[in-house]
Homo-oligomer: A and B are copies of this chain.
Amino acid sequence: MSISVRDVAALAGVSVGTVSNVLNRPEKVTPETVGRVQAAIDSLGFVRNDVARQLRAGRSRTIGLVVLDVGNPFFTDLARGAEDEAADANLTVILGNSDETIAREDAYLDLFEEQRVLGVLISPLADSMERLVRLRERGIPTVLVDRGTENGGFSSVSVDDVAGGHLAVAHLASIGRTRIAFVGGPQSIRQVADRLSGARRAVDQHDGVTLEVIEVESQSVLHGRTAGEAIRDRPESERPDAIFAANDLIAVGVLQALSMAGTLRVPEDIALIGYDDIDFASAAIVPLSSIRQPSALIGSRAVELLLREVEHGADFMHEHIVFQPQLVVRASTVGA
């Protein structure tokens, strides 16, 4: 069926071992033989079977990446960073999407185990640590992305989300807002919980500022819009004067809801700040203030850490990289 080293060897009049040497250690082979073998490869259109190669090697050249939501540009940027870095090391990335669901996360981890991936990068759900420990015990190095250091024994690359939440709310307070609403959820996602806790801390530092938590089911435009509609329909006295959305997708949804009404102005009536600073934030109906994270960098650094663990074994001291987020002020909080 398919052309194998055996066929190449036959045509070139050498043994299979030599063909393999030409492929992997050409310096060990006479230039003239290399030439003959190359000619045979070209004329047969031989393509090395990576599956067999991996079987022999006992280790694949693939990295598994599980993110919470591929629809979120933050994660596609992160994935792109990881892919580029992996490509440099001649590795491939399989991208899995857990949709914030344990079942899907598990399914991808199962798959990765069966594929004997080189390692796993994951932005895990709250309850998956046990599973990850098992993975590691099976010898698959794992690096947590977008998740902090508190977790024993894993390397991680993350952004200080508590600081980010603090930044956002301190900014809202600094422009004189006092009734702040946090729109986000589910709180079982650490990013959400941390951003909220940073927000709480900022509220505590500012007298007279209150925080209301509006929980949404998932971090999507749709759920943001639903939450925004609920806020819009409240009597004026019960409306917050500022909203901190747990990410930009939610913020965009809230913004849609608020501006569709036509009666509420952003930021005059309600200031709005998101999180992630995705490309579209600056192009929103009212350009969104946001908290910027170095998304691609997170991905590439995570791959670096992973490769280091692969080389030095899992006992290698685990490393934690924590980036600091950055406040980006636009019209949705400070007007035009």
* A binding-site residues for B, Cβ under 8 Å: 1-2, 45, 47-52, 54-55, 58, 60, 70-71, 73, 76-77, 79-80, 83, 87, 92, 94-95, 97, 107, 110-111, 113-116, 134, 138-139, 221, 252-253, 255-256, 279-280, 282-287
Contact = CB atoms under 8 A, between A and B. Distances in A.
Contacts of A95: 95
A114 B70 contact: no
A51 B116 contact: yes
B139 A2 contact: yes
A70 B256 CA distance: 25
Nearest to A288: B283
Contact of A114 (B47, B134, B279, B283): B47
Contact of A138 (B45, B83, B252, B255): B45
A114 B48 contact: yes
A176 B159 CA distance: 50
B55 A51 contact: yes
Contact of A76 (B76, B139, B252): B76
A82 to B, nearest CB: 12
A50 B283 contact: no
A58 B2 contact: yes
A116 to B, nearest CB: 6
Given A2-B139, A60-B51, A94-B92, A256 B283 contact: yes
A71 B80 contact: yes
A70 B60 contact: no
A284 B107 CA distance: 36
17 contacts: A1-B58, A2-B58, A2-B116, A48-B114, A49-B116, A50-B116, A70-B79, A71-B73, A92-B111, A94-B94, A221-B279, A252-B279, A252-B283, A255-B283, A256-B283, A280-B284, A285-B286
